[in-house]
Structure 1
Amino acid sequence: MVAANEPEFQQAYNELVHALQDSTLFTENPHYKKVIPVVSIPERIIQFRVAWENDQGEIEVNNGFRVQFNSNLGPYKGGLRFHPTVNLSILKFLGFEQIFKNALTGLSMGGGKGGSDFNPKGRSDNEIRRFCVAFMRQLARYIGSDTDVPAGDIGVGGREIGFLFGAYKQMQNNFTGILTGKGLTWGGSLIRPEATGYGLVYYVEKMIEKASHGKETFKGKRVAISGSGNVAQYAALKVIELGGIVVSLSDSKGAIISKNGITPHQISAIGDAKIKHKSLEQIIELSASAFSGSNSVQYLAGVRPWEHVGQVDVALPSATQNEVSGPEAKALIEAGVKFVAEGSNMGSTKDAIDIFEASRNTGVWYAPGKAANCGGVAVSGLEMAQNSQRVQWTSEEVDSKLKNIMYTCFENCYETAIKYSVEKNTESLPSLLKGANIAGFIKVADAMFDQGDVF
């Protein structure tokens, strides 16, 4: 069922199965066991060659993929990732997570994921355009607004979505909501770039409120964030808006630590430079005035922020998978962390998750990515709804719907965790890890029974 050479998918599969088994779900509803071997195999995997022309007139070849994992709740929905590390294991893990993440939004979306081992860094706009046209030439026949609606992911931002959409429209002679993350003037949704980061903070906002019985908020909380892309930037801005202090950001080359708190001006400088693929180290040098005086930061090469942030209340891993190790989880707990929520997919290793989960009785609360970062795909779903109606909602309308989705998702995870808990210690915080996995699984499983995919 799970190949030995698919470690990322194996990890995602094990997390779900262990969460289900370590609950009363199968005791109370043994028929749900039948679903696991079916839901864990994709409905379809498409793999294709992408041959394209670089600026020297030479042919280059990359691998392209689309994993259409599950369509019981709606069209396949999930991002496209352009990164040299892309392989089937990573895309299967992301697609598998996407099934249950999309279920937790309450919207009509199935789960899928795709991409290519193409690396956009260092490529010209013309090379990226030619690659996107070649990629869509192969993918176009397998997607559609009622079949499969891809979005962006790592390496696929607004520029790439534009090129992909233009290629699809020319090939199919069809202007339809085939991709999400589109430009605002041609079918995109307001709040989409901000959605994952904002949604992450809205989810943690409810965690803080619930754990403190309504007595605490983000105000005054020290928040460690990893990553420096869209998710990290907008999570940081929302934390600052709510009165929190952002003490770190990072990229693949290192981390920045700020004792006094990273400022919105610094985040803006990082956002502008990241579009040009600049590293944090280069950004600090290029924007020296923004990172000096009382706003100075410490740059640490070759490390993640977790063991270097000092006293911290909240940790938001927002870079990539497995970015918090067991030792780093221990370091965060020793630094005083009480809330850990993943802006990235499967951001913590199994060792780290086990440490966080074992510390719930001391007030440490962990939320998995499939729940905490579902705001991005939620607004993708809202973009699909706007496209279907040929309308555009205001920022306030979209933000209000996003906040409601995240608050509802938290309550669903919380109540489900309590309902199916096998723990006798009622003083311990309920496991949002189990709650998220069980709630998403039940919704998908019920649809699979109803539609005859499991019987």
Structure 2
Amino acid sequence: MKTVDKMEFTYVQKANEYVESVYETVKARNPHQVEFQQAVKEVFASLIPVLEKHPEYMKQSILERIVEPERMISFRVPWLDDEGKIQVNRGYRVQFNSALGPYKGGIRFHPSVNESIIKFLGFEQIFKNALTGQPIGGAKGGADFDPKGKSDAEIMRFTQSFMTELSNYIGPDQDVPAGDIGVGAREIGYMFGQYKKMRGGYQAGVLTGKGVGYGGSLGRKEATGYGTAYFMDAMLKDNGLTIDGCTAIVSGSGNVSIYAMEKMTQLGAKVIACSDSNGYIYDEGGINLTTVKRLKEEGNCRISEYVNEHPQATFHEGCSGIWSLPCDIALPCATQNEIDNEAAKQLVANGVKAVGEGANMPSTLEAIEIFMSHQVLFAPAKAANAGGVAVSALEMAQNSARIAWSFEEVDGKLHQIMQNIYQASIQAAEEYGQPRNLVLGANISGFKKVAAAMISQGVI
């Protein structure tokens, strides 16, 4: 018995030392990439139990290999504004891991985009994509271009210039980008048109998130928000709770937020607040989603204008204040690190029961620890945010087969995928000694699929 205990201690010690060593190397090689370091640290903390049980992952140097992108591309994007002046932005694409299939991940247009942001998003995408059960690898891309305040002509010229360079590195069986923050159906359409012109033929499978009339999938616009709600529904039911009758707050008011609010409302929740970068609205009787959709999807207006039509509601400057509102369910659906430790403490003090990450890494590591230490049900982004890429992969399948599924078919497949992700995550958490820890469960479940494929394919 003592010998077994000693061996177990040795494996634990080796796993800890291995993780620490690789993480220190990541920090040394990427000294200013704080978002990327944060993403790596969060995943690595979950992997110690699986490394103890499977020392072959250490022998095969899986962590060293998985934190290094297979390819990191950066390029200039020159374009002409409406005043005739040449502007220059910087574009990126990180093709992080193709062990499971062609690279897959969105394109983000936002002033904050830099190499660290793109690498953190691409690293997260590896495991998120693996969780969906679809044959897709992890990637991400974008540019430090701000589409706000730009004319349609300026956006078209920018996206055409962006795609002129990006087209050298993507293809239906190589790398299939989609949209993300700042990149919707309009931007995807312009990029698709430019790719088609440059390649001299129609290749529907090169981008997802396309318009339904030219190869897009029904249900793609709703997928990330709906998927987050479906995951929350599965998590709450498994813990003897229900969405029905709960109050919810949802940060953001873009695609993810709007459709998370829509599905949560359909499942019986009352959504009382949402936000944009200027501030948040609070409507005690429940947010009128029709108004929000019209303001944000049709009018491209600020969320503050909501109160002009609903005077019983209030607008508050500063989007972070939304987390001070009492609620049963909180869904951060805006951007990374929007919930810090102070926001998490406020939510806990106000009695929040469950938190579901609809955005990519919206909670800091300290915030996650606060939620979990107070027994708040926590759905991590890799799992809860996976609906968008899941339906993107379904769009790829439809493009390859030259068929189109109905909204009900796509939605049904999405619902099943999100339930499968929940079950895989909860089972992995239980198998590795931390029942109900979905952060650990999601990370391990996704990691094991990718690691097994990497080992099978040799040192490449």
Cα distance in 2 for partners of 1:208, 1:284 equals: 31
Question: Counterpart of 2:10?
Answer: none
Q: Please tell me the residue identity of whatever aligns with 2:228.
A: L
Quick check: which one's helix share is greater?
A: 2
Cα distance in 2 for partners of 1:4, 1:142 equals: 27
Question: Counterpart of 1:394?
Answer: 406
Residue 217 (1) aligns with residue 242 (2): yes
Q: 1:415 Cα shift? A: 0.4
Question: Counterpart of 2:423?
Answer: 411
Bigger RCO of structures 1 and 2 (CA < 8 A, at least 6 apart): 1
Question: Counterpart of 1:304?
Answer: 320
Question: Counterpart of 1:260?
Answer: 285
Question: Counterpart of 2:217?
Answer: 189
Cα distance in 1 for partners of 2:297, 2:101 equals: 36
Q: Is the 8 A contact 1:81 1:116 kept in 2?
A: yes
Q: 1:218 Cα shift? A: 1.2
Deviation beyond 4 Å, 4+ runs, structure 1: none
| Equivalent residue in structure 2 for 1:138, among 165, 174, 189 | 165
| Equivalent residue in structure 2 for 1:319, among 312, 334, 349 | 334
Gaps of 5+ in 1: 424-428
Question: Counterpart of 1:280?
Answer: 303
Cα distance in 1 for partners of 2:414, 2:184 equals: 20
Matched residue SS, 2:96: strand
TM-score w.r.t. the length of structure 2 is: 0.91
Question: Counterpart of 2:83?
Answer: 56
Cα distance in 1 for partners of 2:274, 2:295 equals: 10
Q: Please tell me the residue identity of whatever aligns with 2:357.
A: E
Matched residue SS, 1:32: helix
Q: Please tell me the residue identity of whatever aligns with 1:441.
A: F
Cα distance in 2 for partners of 1:217, 1:259 equals: 20
Residue 440 (1) aligns with residue 440 (2): no
CA distance 1:134–1:307, change in 2 (3 Å):
closer
CA distance 1:58–1:4, change in 2 (3 Å):
same
Cα distance in 2 for partners of 1:272, 1:97 equals: 28
Cα distance in 1 for partners of 2:341, 2:243 equals: 26
Cα distance in 1 for partners of 2:291, 2:131 equals: 34
Q: Please tell me the residue identity of whatever aligns with 1:42.
A: P
Cα distance in 2 for partners of 1:188, 1:264 equals: 25
129-138 or 87-96, larger mean C-alpha shift: 129-138
Q: 1:367 Cα shift? A: 1.3
5 Å-filtered alignment, 1:24-423, equals: 24-33=49-58, 34-176=61-203, 177-212=205-240, 216-273=241-298, 276=300, 278-281=301-304, 283-284=305-306, 288-289=308-309, 291-292=310-311, 296-310=312-326, 312-360=327-375, 364-421=376-433, 423=434
Cα distance in 2 for partners of 1:343, 1:389 equals: 30
Question: Counterpart of 1:426?
Answer: none
Q: Please tell me the residue identity of whatever aligns with 2:320.
A: R
Cα shift readout 1:316-354 (whole Å, capped 9, x = no counterpart): 100000000101111111111111110000010111011
Q: 1:272 Cα shift? A: 3.1
TM-score w.r.t. the length of structure 1 is: 0.92
Cα distance in 2 for partners of 1:145, 1:303 equals: 39
Cα distance in 2 for partners of 1:221, 1:122 equals: 37
Q: 1:269 Cα shift? A: 2.7
Q: 1:305 Cα shift? A: 4.2
Cα distance in 2 for partners of 1:8, 1:89 equals: 6
Gaps of 5+ in 2: 1-25
Root mean square deviation, CA, Å = 1.2
Q: Is the 8 A contact 1:8 1:93 kept in 2?
A: yes
Cα shift readout 1:189-242 (whole Å, capped 9, x = no counterpart): 000000000000000000110011xxx321100111101000000000111111
- Between the two proteins, the alignment pairs up a number of residues equal to 430
Cα distance in 1 for partners of 2:54, 2:184 equals: 42
